Amino acid sequence: MSEKMNQISLQDTVPSPLTMKRWSLFSSGNYPYLCARVRARRASLLPNDMYRKLLVMDTYQITRFLGESTYKKEITELGVKATGFQLIDLALNRNIAEAYQQILGYSEGDLTKLLSAYLQREDVWNIKTILRGKSYNAKPDEIMKAIRSTGRYPESYWQNIVQQSKTVQEAIELLKGNDYFDIINAFKEDWEAHPDVCENKLEQAYFHFLLNSIHDRSEPNRLFLEFVREEIDLVNIKTLLMTKYESVEPATIASMILTGGKILQKTMQRLINAPDFKQFLEELHSIPEYQTIRDSIGTIEQTSSLSHIIRALEKDHLTKATKKSYLHPLSILPILDYFIRKRIEVENLRILSRAKEKGLSEQTIRELLVIQ
């Protein structure tokens, strides 16, 4: 890792204070109207038992099924450009982008600002996708299949960057004016050599921005803040699992941990400093999420994979979000719950179509899906 990267702190690279202004003391917004809209959309999401039927379908049958569902418009429009899993990929990306943007368009007041801040994660995803794609010399069409135009910027914005650049450096130059350009530019010389570290800094900047965008002086914002802190814990636990499993040095792990979560700092420090993976798993007893992953820990040795435990964490996060949305039916939580569920549905369908194309077994595919 370069000396310059070590010298640049997150404080130096986060968006300027002008872009991180906190909202008004009393959060405004059309919560009842938007929550009613979201409830109607949530009812149209695929039920869990539908995945059992999709597991026995081939790619053609899955495409046909989607063409008769809420994805009909996208499948029909894009059917002249692609087929098979490529068509499904394009249709899923366009459908979720339209769904998110419609919800955002229906919102008003501070609710719009809160949702816009949250959806910046999609812009961060796209930046990472483009820069990774360029570092591997991926074709523009391949990169665009992974782009999710669900944040601030439309598909045409990302397409221009992908089409007009050949290298990581050229793509970074085209990102001038983007909210995260200063962060990306600070690490541009290191991006290809240390992509994981650079992507982590980008993730840290996003959550830093999000946390500093939310005051806790109104009930809607307090609920939102708690939700974001729980998401930070989820990201951190997954980071710890993967890095400790690969025996990454504690100092490197510490630099990758997001701040602002609910896990106590002393607990986090014990997890980071655990001398080996076995001791790390013992230390996990001290976090609330342990009860969720306890039964999945044994599968790590059997399968040499973390997939079961990661899926358990994601399912637990989804379950918690849903429960809280029922407890606070006229808050931001039902909207966030829908965002999560829609994103998981799209990812499940993407996994299904790609796995079918590769000829993976039904059992293997089932283990990759996030289903409650």
**pLDDT, mean of residues 62-72:** 96
* pLDDT greater than 90 at residue 238: yes
pLDDT for position 27: 61
Q: What is the pLDDT of residues 325-365, one digit of tens each?
A: 999 999 999 999 999 999 999 999 999 999 999 999 998 89
Q: What is the pLDDT of residues 246-267, one digit of tens each?
A: 999 999 999 999 999 999 999 9
* pLDDT greater than 60 at residue 22: no
Q: What is the pLDDT of residues 133-165, one digit of tens each?
A: 999 999 998 899 889 888 888 889 999 999 999
Q: What is the pLDDT of residues 75-105, one digit of tens each?
A: 999 999 899 989 999 999 999 999 999 999 9
**pLDDT, mean of residues 21-39:** 75
pLDDT for position 305: 84
Lowest-confidence segment of 1-5, 45-49, 145-149, 234-238 by average pLDDT: 1-5
pLDDT for position 4: 44
Q: How far is CA 283 from the centre of its chain?
A: 26
Alpha helices, H only, 107-249 = 109-118, 120-135, 140-145, 155-164, 168-174, 181-186, 195-211, 219-245
* pLDDT greater than 60 at residue 23: no
| Cα–Cα distances in angstroms (integers) from residue 147 to residues 68, 140, 176, 362, in the given order | 24, 11, 18, 27
**Chain-wide mean pLDDT for the chain?**
88
Residue 144 CB partners (closer than 8 Å, separation 6+): 158, 159, 162
**Tokens 């379908």, residue located:** 57
**Tokens 């630099």, residue located:** 255
Two tokens, residue 295: 């039964």
Two tokens, residue 249: 């040095």
**What structural domains does the chain harbor?**
214-331 (1.20.1690)
More confident position, 28 or 225: 225
**pLDDT, mean of residues 13-30:** 49
Q: For 328, left (φ over 0), alpha (ψ -120 to 50), or beta?
A: beta
Two tokens, residue 21: 């202004």
- Distance between CA atoms of residues 317 and 191, nearest Å: 31
Residue 185 CB partners (closer than 8 Å, separation 6+): 172
- Distance between CA atoms of residues 17 and 185, nearest Å: 18
Q: What is the pLDDT of residues 116-129, one digit of tens each?
A: 999 999 999 999 99
DSSP 304: T
Q: What is the pLDDT of residues 200-212, one digit of tens each?
A: 889 999 999 999 8
- Distance between CA atoms of residues 28 and 113, nearest Å: 10
Two tokens, residue 176: 């001038």
| Share above pLDDT 70 across residues of the chain, in percent, rounded to a whole number | 92
Residue 305 CB partners (closer than 8 Å, separation 6+): 299
More confident position, 30 or 150: 30
- Distance between CA atoms of residues 94 and 78, nearest Å: 10
Q: Are 27 and 114 in contact (CB under 8 A)?
A: yes
Two tokens, residue 347: 């990812």
Residue 79 CB partners (closer than 8 Å, separation 6+): 67, 87
pLDDT for position 3: 44
Two tokens, residue 210: 């999000």
Q: What is the pLDDT of residues 274-326, one digit of tens each?
A: 999 999 999 999 998 888 888 888 888 777 888 889 988 998 999 999 999 99
Which one, of 68, 10, 9, lies nearest residue 211 by Cα? 10
| Share above pLDDT 90 across residues of the chain, in percent, rounded to a whole number | 68
Q: How confident is the model at residue 213 (pLDDT cuts 50, 70, 90)?
A: confident
CB count in 10 Å sphere of residue 362 = 12
pLDDT for position 10: 43
Q: Are 198 and 189 in contact (CB under 8 A)?
A: no
The pTM score is 0.86
- Distance between CA atoms of residues 202 and 128, nearest Å: 8
- Distance between CA atoms of residues 38 and 334, nearest Å: 7
Q: How far is CA 272 from the centre of its chain?
A: 23
Across 212-304, the runs of DSSP E, i.e. the strands, are: none
pLDDT for position 6: 44
pLDDT for position 134: 94
Two tokens, residue 1: 């890792």
